[in-house]
A and B are shown apart, each in its own frame.
Chain A
Amino acid sequence: MLRIKKLKARVKDGPEILHGITLTVNAGEIHAIMGPNGSGKSTLARILAGHPDYEVTGGDVHFQVNGEWQDLLGMEPHERAKAGVFLAFQYPVDVAGVSNVTFLLAAYNAIRRARKEPEADAFEFRELLVEKAALIDLDPSYLDRAVNLDFSGGEKKRNEILQMAVLEPTLAVLDETDSGLDVDSLRIVAEGVNRLHAAHRAVLMITHYQRMLNYITPQFVHIMMDGRLVRSGDAQLAHEVENRGYDWLKETA
């Protein structure tokens, strides 16, 4: 579903951060990318969503939409969302004046239009939203509040998962969604991800710690260091990193 080949990228006019990433994610798979701070994990996540601050200097990324491979890097951020890519932000942005429900209805219908599915009206959409919010233990009052404004760190992350649950992407990229969460929130967020997971979907988790993986079990774990994937393995690799840290990988890289 996702094919990243020799991807090189930098912050616009800055030094290169990704030095050639190659990664394939198939439908039904859960991948985790782990690595120390500054290794380029979040850069990769943001580039997949089309963040304007980054510039791709080499390689390519293809994404499968309805069985057809498309050049992901040639698409605008909104086109990627419509194609089925979702990025759960590490630092969700607040939007004053725009309520959660207004924002999500606009996004939901934009994506429905792109998929040639009928649009929802405000009433049926609210029902859907209330139902999804209950699953992640988010009080319905949050739906009428401005997007992420004055939300706690954990509420912001849960709001990201709510958006994911509503927009139903085929590829969910979670950028350190576990950071800043207490144990209960972590469990709720993980359940939200597991609930969405299906044979035609895939998850790419960016994480610093292994603890999220106690709730979501990846088939593949990749270690990123200095802009390169230095090792890939199964869930066992995450435990090894948890016990031994990252330094031993530096030597073997």
Chain B
Amino acid sequence: MANKIQTEQLQQRGREYKYGFETVIEQDTFPKGLNEDIVRAISQRKGEPDYLLEFRLKAYRWWAQQPAPTWAAVEFPPIDFQDIRYFSAPKSMARPVNEAGEVDPILVRTFQRLGIPLREQERLTGVAVDAVFDSVSVGTTHQKMLAEHGIIFCSFSEAARNHPELVQKYLGSVVPPTDNFYAALNSAVFSDGSFVYIPKGVKCPIDLSTYFRINARETGQFERTLIIADVGAEVSYVEGCTAPARPENQLHAAIVELIALDDATIKYSTVQNWYGGDAAGRGGIYNFVVKRGRCAGKRSKISWTQVEAGAAITWKYPSVVLLGDDSVGEFYSVALTNNQMQADTGTKMIHIGKNTRSTIVAKGISCDQSKNSYRGLVRIAPGAENARNYSQCDSMLVGDKAAANTFPYLEVSNPSAIVEHEATTSRISAEQLFYLQSRGLDTEAAVSLLVNGFCKDVFKTLPLEYMVEAVNMLELKLEHSIG
């Protein structure tokens, strides 16, 4: 009964956020707090090999010595890490499940409602999905078809058991467990996530994607994604995420590692729609994520596209280490903040190999009383002959109470480098809106035109169906702020 009332209240609260519902399901949840026993218990629950437990414990011990970082241009009260639960899984998921057909019907319905059909006959044809619910992957579609191409696409837990040689070789190789505070936290307690391996010369025939859903109260989500594209391989990967609308904050601290070998291409797209809190700034997800790719091979390419429209606080910098000669890194981003949301996001492009090129296109839209910062580093190492970077950072302000910042950092240690940076700030004004309306466009069409115009360089890098979703998501949020 209590659950039902809560659910109704949540729906009430999240009227503009249709994903704000909560699934009532029996969960197996750890007690609050973090210590070595919790770390061991997570590892045990997942039936992990010893090397992973060692990896976790090392990370935990380092993390326990570190103060939480405070340098980002975001404000929040200190997080009590002993007041969070580090594992929560539906009881029906006690045994590992491979095919979506075996998944608890409640979970199938939940993902159905989120637009992610898991059942064989209903699933999306053009994309394979790994569905993650709190701390576990509940199902991965199209695995058989992908296996025929030699592609491994499975939950991280499954990969740790079935492909230990790959996991052991690459886990932590791009983001070491001691990279930073939240990377160490994730490395200690990560629960699930997705694993992708594309073998030599294979172009993945469909998009791969992971959908992250937070459901349990007072629980953090700490997932890990590891994608390896072997020599000449190509893959396009998309992630989406939502959470219930609640008055408390919840922590999401993930790690994504990408490795591209010679001539390999990885395209990683994110449509982030975590609950962002209400107009008074209550609730929402703290989205503290470390995403990094390594262009390990010659002529390899890693491209990040992110459309960030949710989360109370977003703190992340999808980056590329350009190690291989002639490798290419790209970062395309739209970050929209409304209500009292805060975002400090951008990228790092680390040029090490010769003739490496990177492109950064970052668009920030700040509405209401929100705060939106772009922070980006372009580093040209001494040996990076003929490196090229082009950065463009544009901010759009909606209303007069929102804030936008740009923090570009340039470290050029090779005189042959050419680094360009452009930045603009504009404002959607009532006068602009009226001008468009006076030509026959209703508010919706006018906003759509403005948003598309501002973001088109980023939108066009998304896979088509996600582009439509991203455009709709931004328009909906903006209309609310401008309307």
Chain A residue, CB-CB nearest to B453: A97
Q: Known contacts A93-B431, A93-B435, A95-B435; is A114 also within 8 Å of B449 by CB?
A: no
| A21 interfacial by beta-carbon distance below 8 Å | no
Question: How many Å from the CB of A106 to the closest CB on chain B?
Answer: 6
- Taking a contact as CB atoms closer than 8 A, the residue among A97, A107, A111, A163 that contacts B450 in the complex is A97
Q: Within A65-113, which residues are at the interface with B (CB < 8 Å)?
A: 76-78, 80-82, 86-87, 89, 92-93, 95-99, 102-104, 106-108, 110-111
Q: How far is the CB of A11 from chain B (nearest CB, A)?
A: 13
Q: Which of A50, A86, A96 contacts B426 (CB 8 A)?
A: A96
Q: How far is the CA of A108 from the CA of B312 in the complex (A)?
A: 40
CB distance from B184 to the nearest CB of A (A): 41
Q: Is B436 close to A, CB under 8 A?
A: yes
Q: Is the CB of B442 within 8 A of A92?
A: no
Given A52-B430, A106-B445, A110-B445, do A96 and B438 touch, yes or no (CB 8 Å)? no
**Would you call A51 an interface residue if the criterion is a C-beta within 8 Å of the partner chain's C-beta atoms?**
yes
A95, B440: Cβ atoms under 8 Å?
no
Q: Which residues on the A side are within 8 Å of B438 (C-beta)? A: 49-50, 77-78, 80-81, 86-87, 89
In whole Å, how far is B245's beta carbon from the nearest beta carbon of chain A?
Answer: 31
Given A93-B432, A96-B426, A106-B449, are A163 and B439 neighbors across the interface (CB < 8 Å)? Answer: yes
B441 at the interface (CB under 8 A from A): yes
Instruction: Please report which residues of chain A, range 145-168, place their CB below 8 angstroms from some CB of chain B when the two chains form the complex.
Output: 146, 163, 167
Please state if A107 and B441 are interface contacts (CB–CB under 8 Å): yes
Chain A residues with Cβ below 8 Å from B442 are 76, 78, 110
Contact B434 A51 (CB under 8 A): yes
Would you give the shortest CB distance from A136 to chain B, in whole angstroms? Answer: 17
Closest approach, in angstroms, between the C-beta of B238 and any C-beta of chain A?
25
In contact, A102 and B453 (Cβ under 8 angstroms): yes
Nearest CB of B to A88, in Å: 10
B334 → chain A closest CB, angstroms: 12
B453 A52 Cβ-Cβ under 8 A? no
With A81-B440, A89-B435, A167-B440 as contacts: A95 and B453 at CB distance below 8 Å: yes
Given contacts A52-B434, A106-B445, contact A95 B439 (CB under 8 A): no
Chain B residues with CB under 8 Å of A163's CB are 439
Q: Is the CB of B441 within 8 A of A106?
A: yes
Contact of A82 with B440 in the complex, beta carbons under 8 Å: yes
Range, interface on chain B: 20 to 34
Q: Is the CB of B432 within 8 A of A78?
A: no
Closest to A114 in B: B440
Assuming the contacts A51-B434, A92-B435, A93-B431, asked whether A78 and B441 have C-beta atoms less than 8 A apart, the reply is: yes
Which residues in window 96-142 of A have CB below 8 A to B?
A: 96-99, 102-104, 106-108, 110-111, 114
A53, A77, A89, most chain B CB atoms within 10 A: A77
Q: Mark B354-371, 1 if CB is under 8 A from A, else 0.
A: 000000000000000000
Residues of A within 8 A of B432 (CB): 93, 95
State the Cβ distance, A67 to closest chain B Cβ, in Å. Answer: 21
- Report B366 CB to chain A, min CB distance, Å: 16
Q: B residues within 8 A CB of A49?
A: 434, 438
Bound together, the chains give a CA A191 to CA B434 distance in angstroms of: 27
A238 and B437 alpha carbons, distance in the complex (Å): 33
Q: A77-B434, A89-B435, A93-B431 are in contact. Are A98 and B441 (CB under 8 A)?
A: no
- B456: Cβ under 8 A from any A Cβ: yes
Chain B positions 338 through 364: 1 when the CB is less than 8 Å from some CB of chain A, otherwise 0: 000000000000000000000000000
Are B439 and A96 in contact, with the CB atoms below 8 A? Answer: no
**Which B residues touch A98, using CB under 8 A?**
449-450, 452-453
Q: A111-B440, A114-B440 are in contact. List 16 more A-B contacts (CB 8 A).
A: A50-B434, A53-B430, A78-B441, A78-B443, A78-B446, A81-B439, A93-B429, A95-B453, A96-B453, A97-B450, A102-B453, A106-B441, A107-B436, A107-B440, A146-B453, A167-B440
Q: List 25 A-B contacts (CB under 8 A).
A: A49-B434, A49-B438, A52-B430, A52-B434, A76-B437, A77-B434, A77-B437, A78-B441, A81-B438, A93-B434, A95-B449, A96-B454, A97-B453, A97-B454, A97-B456, A98-B450, A98-B452, A102-B449, A103-B436, A107-B436, A110-B439, A110-B440, A110-B441, A110-B442, A110-B445
Chain B residues near A (Cβ < 8 Å): 424, 426, 429-432, 434-443, 445-446, 449-450, 452-454, 456
